[in-house]
Amino acid sequence: MSWSRQTSLQRIRAFRATAPAATINLRNFDQGFVVARHAANQTKMKHGGKSEPLIFDVPPDAAILLDGVHVYIQMLDFGDAMIERERETEASHRRVLSMLHLNYTACDQVAEEFEAQRVDFHGSRMHAVIISPPGAENAKERAARALAFADAAKRAIEEVGRTTENGRYSTRIRVGVDSGSAVAVNSGSKDEREPLFLGAPANYAAKLAEGDEDGIFMSNQVRRDLGVQEIVSHDILYSERHTAAPTVGTGFATNLSYLAKRLSDADITKAAMSAKSRFVLDVGTDASFSFHRHTPPLKSIDFSLLMPSNSIRMGLVSIFGDVDGFTKYVDECIAQGRIGEMVSNLHVIRSELAATLSDDFDGRKVRFIGDCVHGLLAAGTAFETDASASVVAAVKAAGGIRSSFELCKQELDGIDGLGIAIGLEFGETPITRIGIRGDRSVRCSVSRAVSKSEELQRDCTGEQTALGPTALGHAPIGVRSLFEDGVAWNLDASSVVEHLSAPPTVKSGDVSATAAPYSSGER
């Protein structure tokens, strides 16, 4: 498989022709919207349909501008759960998947209590948003509810972890909370819906959730909404990330709206027991996760068929491609009334990145995380993964993704200043579907390779592609020569083809011209 400029250009123009127009149906989330949506849901349910959470019910040609409080819940001990005796094994992967299934369920149980919209789970993180009651005059109410939700989710996960399988799935919890205006859109298909909130609050809450200390960390904007003292610092983000919200009885004793919404210990125990019961029903024990290999290419993976008892585990390359500068672009579009342009461009970019990965290089998209795509690639047979060939295929795909993105910049308006940061890493990785059964279950692929590729992408600029140490170890010389200290600049499709077509040369210090054979490790 290879990248073709003509094919990519034809796809981009076709995606643009079918994307929501600049006159996209933009609605404000206000009380009138709530009443109309409730009436529509009642009609839908009378005809055998079901009421959907707001973000899953946004039509592809619509966008909703709303004020909300975004909550990111991070499981701090997630990484340790993947490791057993310094290695990833089938047993450690079963454990971490069980941990995620249990904690996803606990989060969803608590979210229902606070009318929180669960946007997505991604590995160790949950993103939820509180959007009601609507209106600027209700900012304090939303902030208080969001803090109560964050507090309840943290306590429920800690409780269910403590009481299930003798604490086998215990983890510390860190929560980031920010509020503000964002645009809700849904650019996915019926089978793989991709809801997201475009704007600064979600990204800022995610930044606040990064760190090693457990607790709830809120932005100054949330403090303003609550009417409590703000942090004064020359580095506001740093200070916010290191100032945990006071516990009950210390700093929020006078904030009755928050205290009134805080769940009692009995409520937390009830939510934890409900999550535990669901976990026992769906999973039971780690042994319920049964793994098999998927014969490459990974494009043919059907997530609708995956479940704990029918999961995949194999050596593969994880790839993350994140649009650099998109949050700033979104903020500018919101401020300048260019929301239609922004939503249309997002549809085209997402569609082309997914098509490049799947159609051009036989990879499988796991999900979009905002403007970032996560995909998987592998080469080999039904019996084993060819690590070297997998890395070569992934580097070619990374080059194609960058070339496709450059064509998007050529064809679309207003995105000249954007870039794409790409991270790649190889490793044994499980692939499955967990959480709530049905169409709101979660496509899940977690491993050290996945975590490392996301970390590499996060550290890259919009002109960089980074290759992880394990992938570098399996890469042939032609690929290794592209990456100086693991990083390549402006690596597009033509650059990859040029280097791989050139005769191999051994640099001074290279141990050998052949990559080490891949071993999946002990089970």
Domains of the chain, by residue range, sit at: 52-287, 290-501
Task: Report residue 348's pLDDT band, with 50, 70 and 90 as the boundaries.
Answer: very high
Q: Which of 16-30, 59-73, 130-144, 479-493 has the lowest mean pLDDT?
A: 16-30
Measure the CA–CA gap between 96 and 451, rounded to whole angstroms. 13
Q: What is the pLDDT of residue 216?
A: 94
Confidence of residue 73 (pLDDT cuts 50, 70, 90): very high
Q: In this predicted structure, what is the pLDDT of residue 157?
A: 93
pLDDT tens per residue across span 320-335: 999 999 989 988 988 8
- What pLDDT is recorded for position 52? 46
CB-based contacts of 254-262 (< 8 A; 24+ apart in sequence): 255/144, 255/226, 255/228, 257/140, 257/141, 257/144, 258/144, 258/147, 258/148, 258/226, 261/114, 261/144, 261/145, 261/148, 262/148, 262/151, 262/152
Write down the pLDDT at residue 82. Answer: 83
pLDDT above 70 coverage of the chain, percent:
82
What is the three-class DSSP state of 231?
Answer: coil
Give the pLDDT of residue 101: 87
Contacts of 359 (CB under 8 A, 6+ apart): none
Write the pLDDT tens digit of every residue in 2-56: 899 999 999 999 999 888 765 566 666 655 555 455 555 444 444 444 444 555 5
Quote the pTM value. 0.87
- C-alpha torsion angle, residues 346, 351, 353, 359 (rounded to 10): 180
Which residues, 6 or more positions from 376, have their beta carbon under 8 angstroms from its beta carbon? Answer: 298, 301, 316, 317, 318, 319, 363, 364, 366, 429, 431, 445
Helix residue spans in 164-307 (DSSP H): 200-208, 220-226, 236-241, 256-261, 265-282
Classified as helix, coil or strand, 282 is: helix
**AA letter at 70:** H
pLDDT class for 515, splitting at 50, 70, 90? very low
Buried-state track 222-238, b at ≥16 Cβ within 10 A, e below 16: bbebbebeeeeeeeeee
Superfamily of domain 290-501: Nucleotide cyclase, GGDEF domain (3.30.70.1230)
Tokens of 11: 């796809």
d(CA 491, CA 98): 38
pLDDT at 370: 81
Peptide bond preceding 476 in cis form (omega within 30 of 0): no
Confidence bin at 437 (pLDDT 50/70/90): low
Concatenated DSSP letters for 125-149?
EEEEEE--S-SGGGHHHHHHHHHHH
DSSP SS3 for 187: coil
- Looking at 50-64, 151-165, 449-463, which range is the least confident one? 50-64
Alpha helices in 412-508 (DSSP H): 448-459, 469-474, 477-480, 493-501
How far is the C-alpha of 239 from the C-alpha of 431, rounded, in Å? 37
Average pLDDT along the chain: 85
What is d(CA 72, CA 391) in angstroms, rounded to the nearest whole number? 32
pLDDT value at residue 502: 63
Q: What's the whole-number mean pLDDT along residues 161-170?
A: 88
Please tell me the predicted confidence (pLDDT) of residue 260. 72
Contact indicator for 257, 227 with CB cutoff of 8 Å:
no
Tracing tokens 């403590």 back to the chain, one arrives at: 162
281 pLDDT higher than 80:
no
Q: For position 254, what pLDDT does the model report?
A: 47
Q: Is the dihedral of CA 141, 147, 151, 154 positive or negative?
A: positive
Model confidence at 387, pLDDT cuts 50, 70, 90, reads: very high
Q: Work out the pLDDT band at 511, boundaries 50, 70, 90.
A: very low
E-strand ranges in 195-354 read 195-198, 215-218, 291-292, 311-324
Token readout for 133 is: 């009651």
Question: Is 18 or 257 the better-scoring residue by pLDDT?
Answer: 18
Class of CATH domain 52-287: alpha beta
Domains 52-287 and 290-501 share a fold: yes
Kindly indicate the confidence band of residue 290, based on its pLDDT and cuts at 50, 70 and 90: very high
- Residue 514: CB atoms within 10 Å: 9
**Contact between 171 and 81 (Cβ < 8 Å):** yes
Per the CB < 8 A criterion, the answer to whether 414 and 326 are in contact is no
pLDDT at 440: 62
pLDDT at 434: 85
Residue 313 in tokens: 């585990």
